[in-house]
Structure 1
Amino acid sequence: MPAVPDHRFYYLSNFQQALDWLGQRYADLLQDEERDFLLRFPALPLAARALFVRMMMRKGEHFRASRLAYPEIGCPLQASRDLPPEWVEPDAPLSLAQVFALATKPELLRWFGVRGGLRTARKDSLLAALESDPQHAAPRCLSQWIAPGQGGEAVLRMRVGGLCERLRLMFFGNLRQDWSEFVLADLGTLRYEQIALSAEARGFRSRTDIDLYLQLQACKQRFEAGDKVAAVLDALPAERFDNPWLESRRERLLFQLGQHCEKAGDWPQAQQIYAACRYPGARARAIRVLEKLGRFGPAQALLTIARQSPESEAERQQLLRIAPRLARQLGLPPALRPRPAVVDQIELVLPAEGGRVERAVQLHLQRADAPVFYVENALANALFGLLCWEALFAPIPGAFFHPFQREPADLLSADFAARRRDVLARCLRRFDDGSYRAHLLAIHESKHGLQSPFVAWGWVTRELMVMALDCIPAAHLKLWCLRILDDIRENRNGFPDLIQFWPQQGRYRMIEVKGPGDRLQDNQRRWLDYCAQHAMPVAVCYLQWEQAAA
């Protein structure tokens, strides 16, 4: 890597580090254009490389030279002359809409000599008015758009945005993260667990995987931009992918398309999508859509198959709700529903002072000898995340492939626990041998502030940790962890809002708070049932405001 003189070029140093990383790990998958870029970029003059990275880190493909003024780079136009024209095009031609995207309204009024009522028009209305003039149809460089005597400047066009996006995808394994991760890590704003990554560690196994990811991303963007579902489906690969991680992304997009059709009342299209989708929850949605279509026989047949082997607690819960309706429609014997677990209830009527209902109940129940904490999902997740830290960040093949990962890539995969069976068993045994308390507090201290998919450091203070470990039996903590591990996607949510401790008595109580008109959500019901079934102290507090009660 060429020497970088000082810290002013930190962004260039970071980008070159990423290029070196890619060259080491992806040499066999690179296309000619990408390989050529990795070879030619380091040989360019320093200012040219710095300008390129500054442009790449911004949004869009057109940049006004006057807005690329950086002291360490100097004149951007001079620096751009050393960049290959196939990478950065100087004085690029622009459409009228592109000119509007680059300029402020006062600049546009001056550049186009706008007079009369149009001067007070909104920017989009001004664009429409100018576009109606045939002389504004052809693209041209910015200086040719601007009226004589109103100044002018060059626009640089980034022509290899797609290439840079592919490099970013290969480095991070996703397009959610960007190059600012380097800066945030350097500043200490985001700190990550240090994992030994082999030279073979990478997010994609084949070029096909990269291309399929980009194809899925394009379909997702079209859907989010409002394209018709049918058009997105036509562009979406119908065949299942060999790569389980990519297949999960394809299934999730299918599921979202199905949900969109449901909301629009397009039951036939929704049913067709769900029938081809294996994403969690799709089968139950398919049964519901068959109900909407009046196809009760096929709905009952699919229900029977699903009840024989529910994919999750969430699906089992949905099936129990659907079964009685179908039985009535088909004249079948009433479907038996198990009785819900008995959970204590607290009825409160408090003065309406505004604010959150959870806070009102917390303040009402708070006592000097029995403090109440608003924890929701934070405490259970943190205890699980701290206990199983070594399992979560174990260097399993395919789990980690760059330095800025807050979680393993396979966290939500069906085989997550199976791939870490031994280390997870070792973690959970700490509840049995009594070493869990010291271990949890030690990890809380040694890993404090590191990115984690389970630990919200601002919520889980040492005070809360100590009190929880003093008051919650090891058997209960183990049950929490086992349930989260059983279905991470579903079970890391839905935990009761509040927890109250009696430190002198070594006991606790969890409290779910419901305000006026609020109902228990499905995932909350499942947690409440689980706690009640295992004799863990839990209650639901129903709050009414005094004015409403009167």
Structure 2
Amino acid sequence: MNPKSPTLPADLRDDPLYYLRHFQFVLDWVMARHADLLAEPEQRFIMAFGELPEAAQALLVRMVSRKGELFRTSRLVYTEVDDLEQALSRLAAAQLVELDPVLSLDDLLAQLRLPEARRVFAETVSACGLPTSVSKSRLCEALDGQFTPRRWSVWWPESDETLVRVSVMSVCDRLRLMFFGNLRQSWSDFVMAELGHMRYERVSLDPASRGFQQRQEVDAYLCLHRLRERFDDGEAVADIWSAVPRLPDDNPWLAARRSRLLLRLGQQAQREGQAALALEIFSFAGPGEARVRRLRLLEREGEHHQALTLATQALEAPLDDAERQALARLVPRLQRRLGLPVLKPAAQAPPKSWSLSLPPQSLAASGSVELALRDHLARDEAPAFYVENHLFAGLFGLLCWDVIFAPLPGAFFHPFHRGPADLYRPDFVSRRRDRFDACLEALASGDYRERIRARWRDKQGLANPFVYWEVLDEALLELALHCIAPEHLAVLFERLLEDLKANRSGWPDLIQFFPDAGQGQPRYRLIEVKAPGDRLQDNQRRWLEHFQCHGIPVSVCHVRWSDG
């Protein structure tokens, strides 16, 4: 870390104000690295916060770390805040909180327990002929449209407490976003790290590396986030669509977030029968799943010529294997609908499959069909493991650990990264192609085993987006290194690098090892498990085809439950 960067004390577990130290650390970090992105509201807040007494600071951080903006004073009892009234008074004087704010009926009811709501609206309950034991949902129906917003003290004059609204929650969210580069991570990440529940790789942080380079990027992120919240709250798709911002062409990260939002909006519009709106939204959502959904909707609407033209163009440059697979199904169907010649793709040999009957009690004993089959197959000389998507990803993560955590500009910009911020961006691999090539060369030279073992020992427990430590124990690791041919690992790792996000999933459920197999015999096999009624998913089919093309031993086991 750059020596000028703010630092935290080594151990805050005995400090009752640990959360305040974390919060101040974020403010110092943002001031040191993002000062040019701060406008007057953030600057004013940081200055006002710094002038508060420690108890008032602690109380504000307690509230900021909780959900929502409204808090009853009876729920703000903290031992380190010995004089709540004085702390609130200082926060209100600094305009960081509002005491006794104006509340809508919905906000009020969200704060009241049911017995309290019955008391506050006792006259209305009586006038409407409702029982005194009325449910909250029925009470809400009766009250709807009858009241205008008013202060807590007016809503409930008999209350012996007041309500507090945090006035700077949006400012604090912006500062948290600038620190983490996302709003998924919260102030609790500090606590998880402090308690040792989550440990992060130490990466050298370039002062120039940060999540946002311009304030407009922060604004755009927050705008998209609020629109997603409005969508989740059930607001009309058309209203949200009209507010979606256009973004600069030079920020693929924000463009990807916008595309994901548009995909969700288009799907909802389609579910609601608004085909024209869905088609419009999908047309702005870019390639991939949204483009395929647009083409299928055009087909459903009878626009076969337009759909075929667009699908044929898309097939020339699909975004990924998933889109290529979907288009390869769609184009022949459209050609048949239009009476055009259909070029059949070369038939792929179906994956090897077999059926096995197991007693129903084995499911109850194991807990899942995968574990039941694992237990049935496992022998001392041929151990079996339920690994699903974790084994090969873990081997990849260990072998390429140094590449994944290479301190490239924009990849790491705070101490709490589980992986690089650009992991799923289009240029992630290309920025590191030479480093990955050098890493994969170890598979050909034979150095990979010791490199993987060393990373497994030295990095035990550290967060890595590919390594699931609870799955990859030493026994599994050693069997995998002994039995899986390095040329197979090279083939699988290269396909993983083609699309890290999509190709992380779809791997077979089980692996069985044959460590004492003779010369020329496979020392392992992969098994995709299917319970009665289960079908192969598209990403599983793509992986099975890849395994078959490269001679990797794999099969599909269809489990049946026998009565015997």
Q: TM-score range by the shorter chain?
A: over 0.9
Q: 1:36 aligns with which of 44, 47, 50?
A: 44
1:64-463 superposed matches below 5 A: 64-83=72-91, 84-110=93-119, 118-129=131-142, 137-142=148-153, 144-146=154-156, 148=158, 152-238=160-246, 241-353=249-361, 354=363, 355-463=367-475
Going from structure 1 to structure 2, the CA distance change for 1:62 and 1:351 (only over 3 Å counts) comes to: same
CA deviation vs aligned residue, 1:44-78 (integer Å, no higher than 9, x gap): 11111111111111122221222111111112111
How far the C-alpha of 1:200 sits from its partner, in A, is 2.5
- Structure 1 SS opposite 2:151: coil
Count of residue pairs the alignment pairs up: 543
- Which deviates the most, 352-361 or 189-198? 352-361
Q: What residue identity is the alignment partner of 2:282?
A: Y
CA deviation vs aligned residue, 1:27-48 (integer Å, no higher than 9, x gap): 1111112112222312211111
Going from structure 1 to structure 2, the CA distance change for 1:7 and 1:432 (only over 3 Å counts) comes to: same
How far the C-alpha of 1:2 sits from its partner, in A, is 13
Going from structure 1 to structure 2, the CA distance change for 1:72 and 1:520 (only over 3 Å counts) comes to: same
Partners of 2:281 and 2:442 in 1: CA distance: 45
Contact 2:356–2:560, Cα closer than 8 Å, also in 1: yes
Contact 1:347–1:541, Cα closer than 8 Å, also in 2: yes
Partners of 1:93 and 1:311 in 2: CA distance: 50
Going from structure 1 to structure 2, the CA distance change for 1:32 and 1:55 (only over 3 Å counts) comes to: same
Partners of 1:300 and 1:154 in 2: CA distance: 63
Contact 1:251–1:279, Cα closer than 8 Å, also in 2: no
Q: What residue identity is the alignment partner of 2:133?
A: T
Going from structure 1 to structure 2, the CA distance change for 1:240 and 1:34 (only over 3 Å counts) comes to: closer
Going from structure 1 to structure 2, the CA distance change for 1:121 and 1:320 (only over 3 Å counts) comes to: same
Contact 1:112–1:147, Cα closer than 8 Å, also in 2: no
* TM-score, normalising length: structure 2: 0.91
How far the C-alpha of 1:168 sits from its partner, in A, is 1.2
Q: What residue identity is the alignment partner of 1:119?
A: T
- Which deviates the most, 113-122 or 204-213? 113-122
- Structure 1 SS opposite 2:353: strand
Structure 1 spans left out of the alignment, 5+ residues = none
Contact 2:265–2:281, Cα closer than 8 Å, also in 1: yes
CA deviation vs aligned residue, 1:109-135 (integer Å, no higher than 9, x gap): 4556678754311123334445676xx
Going from structure 1 to structure 2, the CA distance change for 1:93 and 1:345 (only over 3 Å counts) comes to: closer
Contact 1:350–1:543, Cα closer than 8 Å, also in 2: yes
Q: Who is 1:542 aligned against? A: 558
- Structure 1 SS opposite 2:90: coil
Q: Who is 1:510 aligned against? A: 526
- Structure 2 SS opposite 1:466: helix
Q: Who is 1:479 aligned against? A: 491
What's the Cα RMSD here?
2.3
* TM-score, normalising length: structure 1: 0.93
Q: 2:33 aligns with which of 22, 25, 38?
A: 25
- Which deviates the most, 360-369 or 124-133? 124-133
Contact 2:22–2:190, Cα closer than 8 Å, also in 1: yes
Contact 1:341–1:533, Cα closer than 8 Å, also in 2: no
CA deviation vs aligned residue, 1:372-422 (integer Å, no higher than 9, x gap): 111111101111111111111111101111111112111111111110122
Partners of 1:3 and 1:289 in 2: CA distance: 54
Partners of 1:269 and 1:154 in 2: CA distance: 46
Contact 2:479–2:513, Cα closer than 8 Å, also in 1: yes
Q: What residue identity is the alignment partner of 1:334?
A: V
